[in-house]
Amino acid sequence: MQAIYVDKHIPRLVLVKALKRLWPGVVFSPLSPARFATLPDPPLPGPRWVRVRNLMCGICASDVALLMAEADPTIAPAALPGNQRFYLGHEVVGEVVEVGPGVTRFREGDRVIMDTRFQGATCYSQEIEPPCRHCARGNLALCENASAGVGPRGAGGGWGDTFTAHESELYPVPDGLSAEQAMMVEPLSVTVRAALRRLPASGDRVLVVGCGIVGLNMVQSLRALAPECHITALARYSHQAEVARQLGADEVALRADPFDVTARVTGAKLYEGMFGNRMALGGFDVIYDCVGSSTTVQESLRLARAGGTVVMVGITLAPMKVDLTPVWYQEVDLIGVYAHGAEWWLGERRRTYDVVVQLLRDGLLTADGLITHRFPLERWREAIRTAMDKRTGSIKVIFELSERESEEHFRRTTHAAADPGG
């Protein structure tokens, strides 16, 4: 099994964080807790477990943040017990190549995408009965038993050739979806969930902060789910701005001051106090922050109208210093989004993945034009650098494993495991 992973090794993490300003390449060095390795293929750890051969996987900013040692050990999730090894890659589509005797949902040859495994253990993957209230409602990312430590955990991830998962952690790829569409279901589910967490009303003026892949997916998710809202997007690069317009943004501001944009689009009044302290009154109805830095969160709170909403879609794996006074002073709602789960949509509760698949089938969401670069796994360093450097024109960078190459590796490694002397 080939895999790129990060070990939970705090001394190494602290060392790399200290060195990388002077030596950026330290994240790829032996000092780093990150590794690219070929490991023995693990046996299926239980009767309801599945092995998947990867076909295609996207490079997500959250995985890159772990790889680049950007996670801070003092954030809330780090206080919870969990895996000591984080296998990277969750935007993955693959093919089932082995099933345990208790598996009922899949058979060999089925195409699947990773569902909940990267989020952590759930009541269902740990086979805990009865399930907690969140798992019972379909919001498995919020599982109250995620740190219970019951049973095994999967090995491998999307940034590799194979992985193992409990059958509850996978989602079947519906017939008619291409591999590219299937791979985009997971990242699209994040922005669909964000839109449904605070769905704009007809005529609402909406701001999307950032036009990386999350921001662009946010634009198309809003256009699909709230077609009568007015969408303004803030972009840093011209290729992002062009795609944002194609996906339905009414206005795109390229490298513009967000306060000036807010005043122009919404008619908000701008005020400036000492030390460049700025505030807008009468701004956007809803703001989707698809960057999630301390700067963008603070500015978003000040650019929302009184009684408006800021939805945090982008994430930062470190504590942030943010002025939260608009939350009480202007009664601005601050909402967070984590992955996907269950949504209230068209009068019924549906899984986020189901909503995304339906919107893809209806042509209201698309994967076309979003995958800009494809790399084989062995060029992973180049792929990561391309994904991080938007001057390359990158939007979504993916690892692509041909079926023949992954099949040959799978057969070679399983044969070696079965016959160590051969």
Reported as a single tens digit per residue, the pLDDT across 16-45 is 888 988 888 888 888 888 889 899 999 999
Mean pLDDT of the region 186-213:
97
DSSP 277: -
The DSSP secondary structure of 76-130, one letter per residue, reads GGGGS---SEEE---EEEEEEEEE-TT--S--TT-EEEE-SGGG---TTTTT-SS
Sequence letter at residue 90: H
What's the pLDDT at 402?
Answer: 61
% of residues, the chain, pLDDT over 70: 95
Nearest to 198 by CA among 61, 312, 97: 312
What's the pLDDT at 404?
Answer: 46
Strands 170-172, 205-209: pairing is unpaired
The pTM of the whole model exceeds 0.85: yes
Mean pLDDT of the region 271-296:
96
CATH number for the domain running over 2-178+368-418? 3.90.180.10
Whether the per-residue pLDDT at 418 is higher than 90: the answer is no
What's the pLDDT at 407?
Answer: 46
| Residue 55 structure tokens | 């076909």
| Cis check: omega of the bond before 40, within 30 degrees of 0 | no
Give domain limits for the chain: 2-178+368-418, 198-341
Domain 198-341 has CATH 3.40.50.300: no
Reported as a single tens digit per residue, the pLDDT across 232-250 is 999 999 999 999 999 999 9
Same CATH fold assignment for domains 2-178+368-418 and 198-341: no
Q: Which residues pair with 324 in a beta bridge?
A: none
What's the pLDDT at 411?
Answer: 52
Nearest to 27 by CA among 43, 60, 2, 4: 4
CB 183 within 8 A of CB 156: no
Query: How far is residue 35's CA from residue 47's CA, in Å, rounded to a whole number?
Result: 30
What's the pLDDT at 403?
Answer: 53
DSSP 210: -
The sheet with strand 2-7 has its strands ordered as 34-38, 2-7, 85-87
Reported as a single tens digit per residue, the pLDDT across 36-88 is 989 999 999 999 999 999 999 999 999 999 888 888 888 898 888 876 789 99
